[in-house]
Structure 1
Amino acid sequence: MILQRPVSMLHICRLSSPPKLFSPFKPSSLSSSSSCIRISQSWLIQPNRSRIRSFGAATATAAAATTTATSATATADKKGGGTFFAEDSVTWTSLGISFRLSQALSNMGLQRPSLIQAACIPDILSRNDVVVAAETGSGKTHGYLVPLIDKLCEANAEADQETNQPHRLGLVLCPNVMLCEQVVRMANSLCDDNGERLLNVGAVCGRQGWPADEPDIIVSTPAALLNYLYAIDQERRRHFNFIRGVKYVVFDEADMLLCGSFQNQVIRLINMFRFDEKLLSRPKSSMEEKASDSTTDTPMHVEIEDYKDLQTDVIQEEDEKADGVTDVEVQTEETEAGLNKRKDWKRVRKIYERSKQYIFVAATLPLNGKKTAGGVLKQMFPDASWVSGNYLHHHNPRLEQKWVEVTVDTQVDALINAVNQGSQALDSGDGLKRTMVFANTVEAVEAVAKILLGAGIECFRYHSDSSLQERTKNLVEFRQKGGVLVCTDAAARGLDIPNVFHVIQAEFATSAVDFLHRVGRTARAGQHGLVTSLYTESNRALVGAVHQAGILDEPVEKVFSRKRGFRNKLKKRGISKVGGDTLSVGERMMA
């Protein structure tokens, strides 16, 4: 059932399952004339057409809070008008944000919400679990920080009136220290008319320990938080108080946190928070029975002891899921076997009163497969509300793209020309010129930086081999002074560097995720941007497919594979035999 609303460009759509963000791979979408595949120094012009994507209705606050998935439509012209901000009639207060916080947002220059903020804030305020998937630079960070701060400010006001109210905490998990510090800066920049912070926000990551002042929001990496909870707090008492106090959990860059090396840590944390929800919702009869089992242990002591056994329980749960055993079957088997009734309540995982809210935020969220981030979320949070951006996994209409085919002999000159030409055309709005140059490896970054320095072009470096202090210093100087930042994909995800007008791919991205995050460093927050992609003969088919996806208004993911290179995918599909130069950009440039 589709409910029409008076706000143009926005609709609400009630769905029985999360929206399908990706369409299936169609070999026919890659078939085109040779002119579409052989692209050299051609400008990508976005078609002037209506776009339909999942999005949220900003003004229908009450309805948005009850929908399972939120959808909206935006019509973009070639200049990108109407692709970032919500309508003039949509204000922070109309979304349910308090006047005090609305004023703080206005004081820092955020006069009106973006489309994605207007879409997700009502759902987050409603205490639903929410999945926010939207293109880079759409305002997702404030999209979750604003309602989170609003609810915690309200909770603090209630706690001031009632002294027995426990202190409520918000937790934001990020994949790296740089992103943690960025979120802290953004949250602490929200101040009242007297210049005082609305909340105390602190980071627990890197060399930063637990904040001295009682925080309202903790921003941390999964590893740092687990280390604090287990390695430092041997008695588990701080562990217990922290888990009990956290009422809102945000997973920023959720696709990264739910896959790869982060997955086990994040799943473990989710299970810890759900375990606490079960403790709080345990029936009174079970509490009485548990208390009668031990005449010496107090309820608080027993609950802390339960936390000590949590790691074993989590491992058992994961083994049962792997074996395909359902929750009901586990409970029945335990009952029939006459196992300890004291632990039966732990096995009822789906029937318990919720006391925490989970929010997942990502700029790329693959759904095709149970092991992808989207697949994991569908399994673990089937009732979550999904909000997705108009241009999720698509070309940004405010982005102008230039494609330049190069050879070993022409690549260095093409790179230098791209940096010089882009600098001449830059209009960042703050008087500074900023260009980001991406390469695939640390060695390639060093090679590119050496070439630019040899041509008299000053540049900063950013890659994983640099120390955290050096990366931080280079980012600060790049923000303050402008110039050229040569980097790997470590700088492509999450970092909000204002007014980057030009992005250059010295080496073409090898996955849809990398491509979307790279080009998303520019054309942010309603601004326009330029991307210049250098590619070789070996990338020609991939570049043609990406270009074709923009013309056909199709998702970029369709022509990539998250787990393997495009060449392998083409071989498997039997579409094209891709050959050519296999040297890395560093080897080619240093040849």
Structure 2
Amino acid sequence: MLHERKEDEAMVKKDDLPLPRHYPYAIIVVPTRELALQVTSWSRRLCRKTPIRTQLLLGSYTRWPFGTLTLPTSPDVILCTPQVLAGFTRGGGYKKKTPLFEQVQMLVVDEADMLLEGGYKKQMDSIFLEFRHSDKKAGTAGRRPTQYVFAAATIPDRGPVSIRKTIASLCPGANFLCTRSLHCQKKELNQEFLQIPADASFDDRVQLLFEKLQEIPSTEKVMIFCNTAQTAKHVLQVLEKILPPNAKPTLFSSDVEQADRARNLGLFAREKSKVLVCTDAASRGLDIEGVSSIIQFDFALDAVSHLHRVGRVARAGRCGRAINFYEAKSKPLVDAVRQAASDDTHGCLAGIFSRKRSFRKSIKKGENTSMALVVESASPEGG
């Protein structure tokens, strides 16, 4: 990117004319608004001593917003969610032809396993379709095809529904790179597992939760994970009554309005709140300083979700604690997680990612294979 900037600056000096650039060199797509804000902040910090500029786009637009009097030159890097970028595709209803997808030189897909399936798949398909058409023209136009980078902490291989196979299909010449810690529980993570009796009531679970919170120093921050927004709301309502005022628990889930969600996360990050009651909406990518412990009020429904939840602590070499409540129905998954944590692989969970088959079958048939952390230098296959 710096090389491209230097080429543009050389052209400006040569012709002694302004050379506004209307499109970014790179676009980074992330699944959530909160993660987009975080990545933008880090991008600006990393590029502080370089000429590279980063711009965050949120909401929706009716036209590409750069090349105007107020923004005469596009930023070098754009951060956005799939909703924003898909709005400029034909599949997203954009009627005017835009050279955006021909001009962008790099597309980064963060949390790739989340964006390439589920609710994001339709938007991402329309985005990749536009890039396919643009890359077909690249050879005749004498320019390089777009470079694609897929980044994720988990890229599960689940048989027919495999993110690895999806990436290989999009980019047949892909290079797969991974770290040793991929799909592994961190050795700095101390885990405690507590089985909830079958006859335990919701109040009994909350009482146990309160007792565990009492064990954590009041100066430290805690994230409490629930499987549904409704459960998270109920837990918050009880904690507001029994916790001291300085704890001030806050809520983070998809049922919370966007403005309130941002405010609650901000209070937690600034230590105005010590307890964040949340769903998996807060498990992906968020790096909140000072979080020492997580509590799974409801145990994760699969190994991938478990990895992302416990990944909120024990970051950057620091120690962390995970307190896991579980019921009898979750015992096969819990047993596999505990077994993985105790073996020489430092907790590799790749062999228990399957969600199509029953969990007991996945343990017998799973394999601890290495997966990709980043895929780069590959173009989508022509459609």
Alignment partner of 1:205 is 2:82: no
CA contact (8 A) 2:157 2:354 kept: no
1:498-513 aligned within 5 A: 498-513=289-304
Q: Distance in 2 between matches of 1:483 and 1:369?
A: 41
2:222 corresponding residue in structure 1: 435
Shift of 1:166: 8.4
CA contact (8 A) 1:503 1:521 kept: yes
Shift of 1:264: 2.9
Shift of 1:202: 1.5
2:278 corresponding residue in structure 1: 487
What are the Cα deviations for residues 236-257 of structure 1, in whole angstroms up to 9, with x where unaligned? 1xx12x1222001100011111
What are the Cα deviations for residues 160-203 of structure 1, in whole angstroms up to 9, with x where unaligned? 1113888451111111222222211211223546xxx7422112
2:234 corresponding residue in structure 1: 447
CA contact (8 A) 1:513 1:562 kept: no
Looking at secondary structure, tell me which structure has more helix per residue.
1
Q: Distance in 2 between matches of 1:497 and 1:488?
A: 15
Unaligned runs of 5+ in 1: 1-151, 285-352, 425-431, 576-591
TM-score using structure 1 length: 0.53
2:176 corresponding residue in structure 1: 386
CA contact (8 A) 1:438 1:486 kept: yes
Q: Secondary structure at the match of 1:464?
A: coil
1:235 corresponding residue in structure 2: 96
Q: Distance in 1 between matches of 2:362 and 2:42?
A: 45
**Rg comparison, structure with higher value:** 1
CA contact (8 A) 1:368 1:375 kept: no
1:169-208 aligned within 5 A: 169-190=25-46, 192=48, 198-206=51-59
Alignment partner of 1:275 is 2:133: yes
For 2:162, which of 363, 366, 372 is the aligned residue? 372
CA contact (8 A) 2:351 2:363 kept: no
2:267 corresponding residue in structure 1: 477
2:110 corresponding residue in structure 1: 252
TM-score using structure 2 length: 0.81
Tell me: CA distance 1:436–1:369, structure 2 relative to 1, closer, same or farther (3 Å): same
Unaligned runs of 5+ in 2: 366-383
Shift of 1:208: 7.3
1:66 corresponding residue in structure 2: none
What are the Cα deviations for residues 197-219 of structure 1, in whole angstroms up to 9, with x where unaligned? 74221122226784653221111
For 1:401, which of 179, 183, 191 is the aligned residue? 191
Q: Secondary structure at the match of 2:46?
A: coil
Tell me: CA distance 1:371–1:405, structure 2 relative to 1, closer, same or farther (3 Å): closer
CA contact (8 A) 2:332 2:360 kept: no
Matched pairs, number? 340
- What letter matches 1:419 in structure 2? L
Q: Distance in 2 between matches of 1:448 and 1:546?
A: 25
What are the Cα deviations for residues 302-331 of structure 1, in whole angstroms up to 9, with x where unaligned? xxxxxxxxxxxxxxxxxxxxxxxxxxxxxx
Shift of 1:463: 0.3
Q: Distance in 2 between matches of 1:258 and 1:180?
A: 17
Tell me: CA distance 1:571–1:354, structure 2 relative to 1, closer, same or farther (3 Å): same
1:19-418 aligned within 5 A: 152-163=1-12, 167=21, 169-190=25-46, 192=48, 198-206=51-59, 210=65, 212-213=70-71, 214-230=74-90, 234-236=95-97, 239-240=98-99, 242-282=100-140, 354-407=144-197, 408=200, 410-418=204-212
1:559 corresponding residue in structure 2: 352
- What letter matches 2:57 in structure 1? V
Q: Distance in 2 between matches of 1:159 and 1:354?
A: 16
CA contact (8 A) 2:352 2:363 kept: no
Tell me: CA distance 1:509–1:419, structure 2 relative to 1, closer, same or farther (3 Å): same
- What letter matches 2:121 in structure 1? Q
Tell me: CA distance 1:232–1:258, structure 2 relative to 1, closer, same or farther (3 Å): closer
Q: Secondary structure at the match of 1:521?
A: coil
CA contact (8 A) 1:401 1:531 kept: yes
Alignment partner of 1:514 is 2:305: yes
Q: Secondary structure at the match of 2:214?
A: helix
Q: Distance in 2 between matches of 1:198 and 1:374?
A: 35
- What letter matches 2:231 in structure 1? A
2:374 corresponding residue in structure 1: none
Q: Identity over aligned residues, as a percent? A: 30
Q: Secondary structure at the match of 1:453?
A: helix
CA contact (8 A) 1:177 1:206 kept: no
Q: Secondary structure at the match of 1:423?
A: coil
Shift of 1:417: 1.3
Tell me: CA distance 1:282–1:153, structure 2 relative to 1, closer, same or farther (3 Å): closer
